[in-house]
Amino acid sequence: MAEALGPVVPDGWTADGQPVGRPWCDIRTPRVGVLAVSESQTDNTWAPLLEMCDGPLVDAYPGLEPMDTFVSLPRGKIEKVTSSARSVKGKPFVHALLDQTEEWVPSNGGLNLFEKVKNNTAKTGGSFIESPNAFIPGEGSVAEQSASFWAAIQEGRARDDGLYYDHREAPGTTDLTDRESLIAGLRLAYGDSSKHPDGCVLHDPACPPGHVDLDHLVATIWDTTSDEQVSRSDFLNQVTHASDSWLSQPEWNGCFDGTKVVADKETITLGFDGSRSRANGRITDATVLIACRVEDGHIFEPLDKCVWEQPAKMPVGADGKPTVWQVPVVEVVAAVRECFRRYNVVGFYADPAKWEGHIADWEAAFGDRLKVKSTRDHPIEWWMTGGRAGQIVKALEKFHNAVVDREMTHDGSFALTRHVLNARRRYKRGSGMQIAKEHPDSANKIDAAVAAVLAWTARMDAVAAGVETKSRRPYRVKRLR
């Protein structure tokens, strides 16, 4: 209603620095869309919108006529559209509300509808808002793509940052079987809408109780026919996991600790997973360096730049073809040396695939300093492929258990989180469970997850070997008289 009638288009500033706006009708005939992939979904927004049109609004804007399928404006129109509408491409929306975009998937035409709406609003200089529930990773929904775009912005991988992303979910530690924990999670997820006698948990002083009965939600979640993943998504607003995910987002988020700081000279272990360029235009795997503090098992990125990934879109060369991305080897080698200079590195496990020469150099330079070693002859080389299936399965299992049992913490790195949640379970006959991308050519990388597993494995070996984690200060005995 604001986009259709109000002064929302920026039009300068007042003398005291306040923004001035003017309505779209001063520039062009406003056309606003309420869109979803089904009629029932558009009704979620359309029904309250029609109610808001009645009363003072009709009196304030002569010519405003609410109808069942559209609202006629003094100039322009608000209409509801679904993915079955073939004519959406020609609708020059100045604003669009995209409802329940977690359901906008390729199979129902949701991605095609989104692409058209996005292009239409760009041509008019307009905007759009998504209002999804939590998406299920791996379904390829519009909501999932937008979350990936936001993550790319946070990591500095996106060329544009024109996205406002507001997502609040219950803590990853929320226990669905514990009433007190569940109520706390629901209060946070529902905010000032929760009908809790103590009011809202988001504001101080607290807002009065809202309209959502939390006891009813608890009863629904505890219904034996309710699916836990759906309950976390629908009621706790938690992005959970694909059916074959290695770790779920609540499990991983439950280990996040942003208060921990790893100081210079602290005792750590390193994990490394490298790659080079790939042929046939396929996206190159990432190269990653991850650290783990031995004392408490805190996983973190040891330097500002520890994840080297191919950009989503490569610049085009003189021949009209996208250029080939190469891992910045010199930068990676420098980062490894900087870690050894800055920290007390007692273990360093690296998957040597395509990096055999550099790992041999690191073994020669740093091997004598390491307290725990992969093997006597190769202290750093730790293969994640080949005939070491038993060791790989065991390393993955130990890391997985540490996350689920919250025996470790991590720094919330966007790249590391993305790679961990991209990892899929793959069972191999005669060996056990390993992890892989959703498919070999997937752009969703898991290399940081592999590096974290190697850093954690080195840390566990260091703990088992009794490696000293705290520096001992020299002292002198004073005789007092």
- Residue 389 is predicted with a pLDDT of 77
- Residue 472 is predicted with a pLDDT of 42
Q: What is the pLDDT of residues 446-458, one digit of tens each?
A: 999 999 999 999 9
Taking alpha carbons only, the member of 288, 373, 374, 283 closest to residue 336 is: 288
- Residue 178 is predicted with a pLDDT of 94
Other Cβ atoms less than 10 A from the Cβ of 456: the count is 25
- Residue 280 is predicted with a pLDDT of 54
- Residue 475 is predicted with a pLDDT of 42
Which residues of the chain are modeled with pLDDT < 50? 471-478
CA distance to 10, 13, 230, 236, 300, per residue, from 412 (Å)? 37, 39, 24, 20, 8
What are the residue boundaries of the structural domains of the chain, listed by start?
2-155, 179-238, 267-464
- Residue 227 is predicted with a pLDDT of 84
- Residue 69 is predicted with a pLDDT of 87
User: The whole model's pTM is what?
Assistant: 0.69
Q: Are residues 181 and 189 in contact, defined by beta-carbon separation less than 8 angstroms?
A: no
Q: What is the pLDDT of residues 431-481, one digit of tens each?
A: 788 999 887 777 789 999 999 999 999 999 999 999 987 644 444 444 555
- Residue 241 is predicted with a pLDDT of 72
Q: Is the domain covering 2-155 a CATH 2.60.40 domain?
A: no
Topology annotation, domain 267-464 = Nucleotidyltransferase; domain 5 (3.30.420)
